[in-house]
Structure 1
Amino acid sequence: MAQPEPGILSVVSVDVVALTYDAEARAVLVATHHRTTEPHLGERALPGVVVRSGERLTDAASRALTKLGIDEPPSAIGQLQTFDEPSRDPRGPSLSVAMWATFWHSADIRTEQAVWTPIDRDHPPAFDHAEIVTATRSILAEKLWRELTFTRGLTGPQFTATDAVTITRSLTGAEVHRANLNRDLARITTLTEAGVAPAAGGRPPKMWRWSPSPTDSP
């Protein structure tokens, strides 16, 4: 990276908080990769790139996600917050626009490059990426069940009441009042009850299903 002139901020990057919900692990996971260049060679970092001239942020984020080696596109993508700590990058001053991306959980996202860890621990050490994950977690918690593109991108087409509790707890870090959460879900007009999920014992959890979106395959 070229050294910027004194007093001039010359670099804007995009760093992506890529998320998936793992029902077996009962956690929302964040993806990192091991850096292959300096600085922070070998350390885990969020996938990120320098934004090219004329490039849209979502396009830059999609380019950054290729560092995870995932062939399928994210289920949804959006913008979070800008981080402007002058010393965040040892190569010189830069801005980082944090983006979020969601992937429905499948074997296809388990690649050699992608390291998936729970959002509430083991944050990436490179640059200010631990700060980015910590700061944006609360933003994502606010989006959950309110911004439906993000929420549906994380839950997938259908989910159980138990999944809803676990996702909420993972993002908020707080215990969840199940009755209140069920009332919140019932008020979402694009969600419908879809019976109950199979259960080995005890009371089976309620299933919720999203109405088909215009981009869904028939």
Structure 2
Amino acid sequence: MSAEISIFDLFLQASLLVKSVMLILLGFSIACWAMIFQRRKALNDAQAQMKIFEDKFWSGADLSKLYNEVSSKGPATGIESLFVSGFKEFARLRKSNMDSPQAIVDGTHRAMRVALSREVDHLETHLPFMATVGSISPYIGLFGTVWGIMNSFIALGAVEQATLAMVAPGIAEALIATAMGLFAAIPAVIAFNRFSHHVEKLENGYGNFMEEFSSILQRQSTSEPSA
């Protein structure tokens, strides 16, 4: 029975360039998995925060008290950031004795859009890296495979009698690079698509809240006189 060759043995026998390719792909894979777990927790937390805040917001709570409650917890994040930015700008514009309710609402809406853009950027953290890993990892692995097979055939040409046993280890170690490229790329692509969809749902939820909150503030700006 022939001795079995482990993946680690094939790695040790590979050329320096193929080893470098494998280590790069291994680093990509480890980094990607760390980001996957971090992003999943961050997006789930944002979803849970949005549900909790919306339940509190639509329960009929006084907006001033809700603003003080949210602000007292520290820097607002997620949907709370939109609310704090909008209400703070609304109060500031009303105190400046602006006579146009529409100008007050427009200014408030712009402040919330800036907060929305900032929050979406935060939700999309690490997603470009996942997309990059998913796109380039198979090609990096293929490069290592081509280089390894090329070296195997060059070495094969230097002997008079070529056998499969002579070339098989070199081809096997080269193919591992392709396998590692796919191992890094597939989870990255799946995670990117899943998280992008989750971010889109959160962005739509934030946008809907922003429009509804703007309508509430518009009614307040027209029904109450400016100070």
Query: TM-score band, normalised by the shorter chain?
Result: under 0.3
Larger Cα-atom Rg = 2
Q: What TM-score, normalized by structure 2, do the two folds share? A: 0.20
Greater fraction of residues in strand: 1
Greater fraction of residues in helix: 2
Q: What TM-score, normalized by structure 1, do the two folds share? A: 0.21
